[in-house]
Amino acid sequence: MKEAETGFGAWMGAIQARMEAALARLLPQAQLAPARLHEAMRYAALEGGKRVRPLLAFAAGELADASAERIEIAAAAVELIHAYSLVHDDLPCMDDDVLRRGKPTLHVEYDEATALLVGDALQSLAFQLLAEHRIADEARTQLEMVKVLALAAGSRGMAGGQQIDLEATGCSLTLPELEFMHIHKTGALIRAAVLLGAACGRELQQNEKPGLDRYAKAVGLAFQVVDDVLDYDASTATLGKTAGKDSKQGKPTYVSAIGIAAARRLAEELRGQAHEALKGFDARSRRLGELADFIVLRKF
């Protein structure tokens, strides 16, 4: 069976398995000193979630004819940034969460100081991966990848979004304010996953770049809208994290800002925008389209 003929579910399963193996290989081994830190880093990053960002990196890499060996390094870097953000986000001074994907959060399983250092070290490791493996034709491109990831993770990206989130707790935000927050908090890293996956391959043509960027932005926002809808809908049992916690903590969500029906409509609209953005591409954009559907239509 040729790869192009593989169904989406099988493709997704294969990438998820591949990422698990890649992360297990790229993270420091648990017996290496300091062993407790390395064991905790693996606890934070392995067996984790749906791997949406790596899936996006692989789908964008396919568009650019990149090799899987390269994409998995770029995807691992993005996923390590994501994993570190979850560990820090769960800390008592932030969301104070005790459960993540059905398991005790890292500071509960280990301790707060270790959780702090795990997050710090996972971030360093992400940049190390982008620098020490050959994942683009030109070193100059790889430097650009480091910059894209650093911007996406930093104060004008994810960390900045977290800060806006902190300050917004207990406030009601307008839709544009909410959008500004999420473009930073989740959108920036999702966009980075798409751009980094593509950067592993051929140089995109001038007309391809804006389309891919529009796709990434639509999907990044859709992901958060759907998260808010699922958070509203779900029970603790099915979601594996404390459901409804965002609204309980007084955090503004798309549901609280515009209501559940309008939030569902918005997710659907963003899915349409994502597909629209892919129109200029050939069949190699198939997985990106399927992923937009998966992200919006998922039930968990």
Give contact residues for its own copies (rule: CB under 8 A). Answer: 28, 32-34, 36-38, 41, 84-85, 88, 91, 93-94, 111-114, 116-117, 119-121, 123-125, 127-128, 130-132, 138-140, 142-144, 146-147, 149-151, 153-157, 159-160, 162-164, 166-167
Nearer to its own copies, 44 or 295 (CB): 44
CA angle 225, 230, 235 (to 5 degrees): 160
Structure tokens at 243: 């459901």
Smallest distance from its own copies to CB 54, Å: 20
Nearer to its own copies, 190 or 226 (CB): 190
- Residue 123 CA, distance from chain mean position: 14
The residues near 12 (Cβ < 8 Å, ≥ 6 apart) are: 55, 294
Smallest distance from its own copies to CB 32, Å: 8
Nearer to its own copies, 152 or 296 (CB): 152
Nearer to its own copies, 36 or 103 (CB): 36
Nearer to its own copies, 84 or 215 (CB): 84
Smallest distance from its own copies to CB 150, Å: 4
CB atoms within 10 A of CB 171: 10
Q: Hey, is 244 helix, strand or coil?
A: coil
Smallest distance from its own copies to CB 260, Å: 28
Asked if residue 223 lies in contact with residue 230, where contact means CB atoms within 8 angstroms, the answer is: no
CA distance 194 to 167: 29
Nearer to its own copies, 134 or 298 (CB): 134
β-pairing, 99-100 with 103-104? antiparallel
Smallest distance from its own copies to CB 202, Å: 19
Smallest distance from its own copies to CB 153, Å: 4
Q: Hey, is 104 helix, strand or coil?
A: strand
> What does the buried/exposed string (b/e) look like for 261-293 if buried means 16 or more CB atoms within 10 Å of the residue's CB?
eebbebbebbbebbbebbeebeebbbbbbbbbe
| Closest to 125 in 3D by CA, of 73, 86, 163, 162 | 73
Structure tokens at 63: 């568009």
Smallest distance from its own copies to CB 21, Å: 20
Asked if residue 41 lies in contact with residue 83, where contact means CB atoms within 8 angstroms, the answer is: no
Smallest distance from its own copies to CB 79, Å: 16
Burial of residue 72, with CB atoms counted within 10 A of its CB: 0-12 exposed, 13-18 middle, 19 or more buried: buried
